Each structure stands twice: as structure tokens, then as C-alpha cells.
Amino acid sequence: MEELASAVPESWSGWWGISNAGDQVDLILVIAVAVFSIFWFVWMWTSKNGGSNHQLPPGPPPLPLVGNLLSLDTDLHSHFATLAKTYGPIMTLWLGRKVTIVISSPALAHEVLKVHDTTFANRDMTVAGNESSYGGNDIVWSPYGDQWRMLRKICVRQMLSNEVLDSVYSLRRKEIRKTIKQLYSQGESPVNIGDQMFLTFMNVVTGMMWGGTVKEENMVSLGVEFRQASNELTELLGTPNLSDLYPSLAWFDLQGIMKKTKVAAKKFDAIFEKIIDQRKKMDGDEINNDFLQFLLQVKDDGDYKTPFTMNHLKALLKDMAIGGTDTTSTTIEFALAHMIDKPEILKKAQQELDTIVGKNNIVEEFHIKNLPYLHAIMKETLRLHPILPLLLPHCPSKSCVIGGYMIPKGARVFVNAWAIHRDPTIWENPLEFIPERFVDNKWDYSGKDFNYFPFGAGRRICAGTTMAERMFMYSLASLIHSFDWKSGEGEKIELGEKFGTVLRKKKPLMAVPTPRLYESYMYE
């Protein structure tokens, strides 16, 4: 058995977070417990899908019981893209007992996310997803149906509409100006851009969610709690779990993913319970017209056909807290890293800002519509580094033919947006950061063009696209208008990625700001 364990490739043990040979032996022993599933696997491998004329898509040959698990690399998005060069734009992987389909072409993405959108509108619920979403009661993991439609309607119409976002511009402005002032006051010292922007966006998002319920002096400690809980939860959501791949083993929670996710989710829950309790104790004159107040009213009014519960309320707050902070701060980090790596791009963006805003003025959100080159920088950043590189896994509600192949009901379906965005048959010099390719062109974030869909497409397209665009554009415009940026002394800009549910920079960006505006009062 130890000899078998020693044969497990380093790449696979890294994917599972296994640290030593003893852990490998334990894992092999665990998998052996599921040996009865080999009969199921052999049947699925050798059958012709119940007599259908359509076969599963091609893919790398699987081993009995474990399928393709032993050969998986840590960075799944790039690993899948490499495999697609051999097996084609639609391929099958066996992850334990789980049939996994990977889509890597615009035409097939169109079939899944447009032509058969309703069939693929469900999520492949994971153990961590279930525990983190109050049992699938949020907009991310909720099954397609009346509940999901209710949650989507509440988010899009009442929380993330242009009208609502316009009404909280003063909050965004306050937090961005606070960040600019802080950067100015600390002199030309290296700044961890990801951490700084996470804190900024966290203040914006929590301000939108529950306004003045939290006192100013408690915001920093709350931000630390939020970041820790957010990092733990996103890490667990992106960790492969034997319980998902071998459902018969789920009860044992062999990797402890369920237990750890419950702990992380309880941290969020404790924060929400405290905030809600404080809100209920506030007098009417103290209450702001924020998201929390709106959601409490929805809960009490019961206007929707599907009951809106306290779990729904807290699940939506969690979605907002994670979706509005980590994703946007990471995109800012990638964008600024590329601009420092190519100073001519930074200078061109600053020249555009100097023309529209002037160096004797500060950026306001109404300037954004007149900054096409900065828009191009955002689009190019999301092309090279889509924040959800494989989107979120879809799950067909019935067997469906895609590209001439049978996709079985219940399969896990990944759409590799990262690979499509780097396809040399679509994009010229696809690995180069070239914002000019997005100036005066047709591409937007609507998900209608399957050559470029960084926020997804179809019914499950990201509900927060408008908010993300506003936050990114206003923040980056303010950062590069107020400061010149360079890497720290002796530091080389690294653009490597770290795969996860949310794509991150492998090495955090440490950058040095130098004030460039005419007057010091413009940093107040």
C-alpha cells in the first residue's frame, strides 16, 4: 500500500493539500473504503449511455475508482486548457464518481449558456456550497426555480439597480477619498494593493448593506473579521472534496471540509446576527434606508409567493459581502500590476484622466463615462484574468446533447472562460496585455458574445456586474489620477495567478505611490 501511495504524483497531492506520504497512505485507504463504487464506474465507462446514439465527450483515460484525479494539476483552469488541446473543446473527466464536462470554445459555451440555458441553470451543489449558503438559500447556490427567481429579483431590482447605486454614490466617494488621503499621508511607502482595496470595498459594501448601524471606531475590527471569514470561506469553496466526488462518503467528512465550512459560515452568521440585533434596537430616526432595512421589510411583509426567511436575508448579505469585495479588489490588483509592468499604458490612462478631469481637480463618478481607455483597461484585465476562470459549475437538470455528445443529468459542467479569453484563434497576441483591442469595439459584459463573457452569461450571469464596473472604474481612476505608481525597490512585478473559486494573484502586489496632483488639499 505504501508503494502505491508513493506513486501518487506531486501535482495531485498538492491539489488536495496533502503534506506527506503518511497523509497519502491515509487518503488511499479512505478511497479503498469506496471500492464498491468501482462496479458503478466500470459500468459507466463501458456503457453507451443507456442505448443512446450519443457518447460522452472524449477525455484522458480514467483509472478505475479514482478516474482522472491522480493526474490533475493545481491550477485547474490552465490544466484544463492544456488538456483541451489534445481532447478537444468539449471533454470528459472522471473525478472519482463524478462525471465532469469541460467546455472550452465559444460555440459550445453558446450551446450550454444560451441554447440550453434552462437545462444548465442549476448549480452542482457541493458540501461547502451547501454549508456556506444556509442550505442553498442564496443567489449563488439556490436551485433554478421560484426561490432563485425571487432572490434574483430582490438583488437586481432593489439592491443593485442603477437607481439604487446612484443613491449611494456619496458613500463610495467618501471611502475612495478616505483611501486616497491615507495613501498620501503615509508617504512613498510600499502598499499592499489587494489588502488596501479590500478594506475600501468592504467599507463601501457594508455601508450599503447596513449604513450607520456599526460605529466608525468598530469598522476596522469588523473589516479584519470579514476578511478572515471571507478568505476561509472562499478557500474552502475551492478545495476539492472527497465528499462531493464520492457522495456515499459524505457522512464521514473525511477531509473535514464540512466542519471547517460550518465554522467559517458561523463567523459570518455571528456578524450578521449582531448587526441585525443592533438594527432592531435602533430608534426610527437612526435607521438608514439601506439594504438591511429593505430586506427586513421584505421578510416582514411577505409579499412574495415564495416565503423570504431570515436565512434568505443573511445569505444575500453574505453574497454581497464576498461578491462585492474580494473579486473587485483582486481585479484592481491585476490591473495596476499590468500598468506598472507597462508604464506606457499607465501614462496613457493618466493622460486621458488629465484631459477629462484635470490635475487641478479630483475624479468624480460622472467623469467615468468619458474614459474609454480606462474602460478598455478593465476589459483587458478581465479578459486575461476572469475573476471566476471556470465560472461556477453548472449542472444539467436532464441529459442533453451538446456538440454531438451526451451530457448526462447531474454532471458537473465547467465553462473555461479563461481558456476562451486566451484562444489565439480569437485574440491576436492573446497573452499580451493590450487594452487597445477594446477601444471602440462591440464587447461588453452582457454575456451575448461568447468570445468574451467575464461575468458569465445566461440566467446565471453575475447579478453585480453594474456595481463591479462602477467600483472598479471609480477606484482605479482615483488611484492613477492621484498617484504615479511603481514597484518597490528591488521588486519585480509578478503576474502569476493562483487558481481558486476566485482567481488571485499568486504574489500580492506591493506598489509605491507618488503624489502627482498640483495641490495637497486635493488629497483631503
C-alpha cell at 279: 438594527
| DSSP secondary structure letter of residue 402 | E
Q: Compute how many other C-beta atoms are within 10 angstroms of the C-beta atom of residue 419.
A: 24
CB 343 within 8 A of CB 409: no
CB-based contacts of 480: which residues, under 8 Å, 6+ apart? 336, 339, 346, 349, 350, 353
What is the pLDDT at residue 216? Answer: 64
Angle at 486 between CA 480 and CA 489, to 5 degrees: 155
Q: Compute how many other C-beta atoms are within 10 angstroms of the C-beta atom of residue 116.
A: 19
Per-residue pLDDT of the chain (524 residues; tens, 9 = 90+): 333 333 333 333 344 443 444 455 455 445 544 444 444 444 444 444 444 567 999 999 999 889 999 999 989 999 999 999 999 999 999 998 899 999 999 999 999 999 999 999 999 999 999 999 999 999 999 999 999 999 999 988 878 889 889 988 998 999 999 999 999 998 889 999 999 998 899 888 888 887 765 666 566 677 677 778 888 888 888 888 999 999 888 899 999 999 999 999 998 898 889 888 888 877 665 566 788 888 888 888 877 788 999 999 999 988 888 888 889 999 999 999 999 999 999 999 999 999 999 999 999 999 999 999 999 999 999 999 999 999 999 999 999 999 999 999 999 999 999 999 999 999 999 999 999 999 987 889 999 999 999 999 999 999 999 999 999 999 999 999 999 999 987 788 999 999 888 899 999 999 999 999 988 888 98
SS3 498: strand
Cα-Cα end-to-end distance for the chain:
66
Q: Is there a domain that residue 113 lies in? A: no
Q: Compute how many other C-beta atoms are within 10 angstroms of the C-beta atom of residue 144.
A: 20
What is the pLDDT at residue 7? Answer: 34
For residue 140, the surrounding DSSP H or E stretch is none
State the amino acid at position 167 in one-letter form: S
Q: Is there a domain that residue 76 lies in? A: no
What is the pLDDT at residue 6? Answer: 34
Residue of 196, 201, 181, 222 whose CA lies nearest to 508: 196
Cα–Cα distance, 40 to 29 (Å, whole number): 19
| DSSP secondary structure letter of residue 159 | I
Cα–Cα distance, 89 to 109 (Å, whole number): 10
C-alpha cell at 447: 454575456
Q: Is there a domain that residue 75 lies in? A: no
Cα–Cα distance, 278 to 69 (Å, whole number): 48
CB 399 within 8 A of CB 352: no
Q: Is there a domain that residue 390 lies in? A: yes
pTM score, two decimals? Answer: 0.88
Cα–Cα distance, 462 to 464 (Å, whole number): 6
The number of CA neighbours under 13 Å toward the Cβ of 46 is 7
Q: Is there a domain that residue 363 lies in? A: yes
Distances in Å between the alpha carbon of 353 and those of 368, 434, 474, 512?
Answer: 9, 19, 11, 20
Cα–Cα distance, 308 to 483 (Å, whole number): 46
Q: Is there a domain that residue 85 lies in? A: no
C-alpha cell at 132: 456556506
- Helices and strands counted in the chain (H then E): 21, 12
Q: Is there a domain that residue 30 lies in? A: no
C-alpha cell at 37: 463504487
Cα–Cα distance, 376 to 140 (Å, whole number): 28
Residue of 391, 368, 320 whose CA lies nearest to 469: 368
Cα–Cα distance, 75 to 504 (Å, whole number): 11
SS3 98: strand
Q: Is there a domain that residue 123 lies in? A: no
Cα–Cα distance, 326 to 237 (Å, whole number): 14
What is the pLDDT at residue 519? Answer: 87
CB 57 within 8 A of CB 90: yes
Cα–Cα distance, 157 to 153 (Å, whole number): 6
In which domain, by residue range, is 282 found? 146-523
Query: What total of structural domains would you count in the chain?
Result: 1
SS3 371: coil
CB 138 within 8 A of CB 463: no
Burial of 399 per CB tally in 10 Å (0-12, 13-18, 19+): middle
What CATH number is associated with residue 186? 1.10.630.10
CB-based contacts of 157: which residues, under 8 Å, 6+ apart? none
Cα–Cα distance, 522 to 180 (Å, whole number): 9
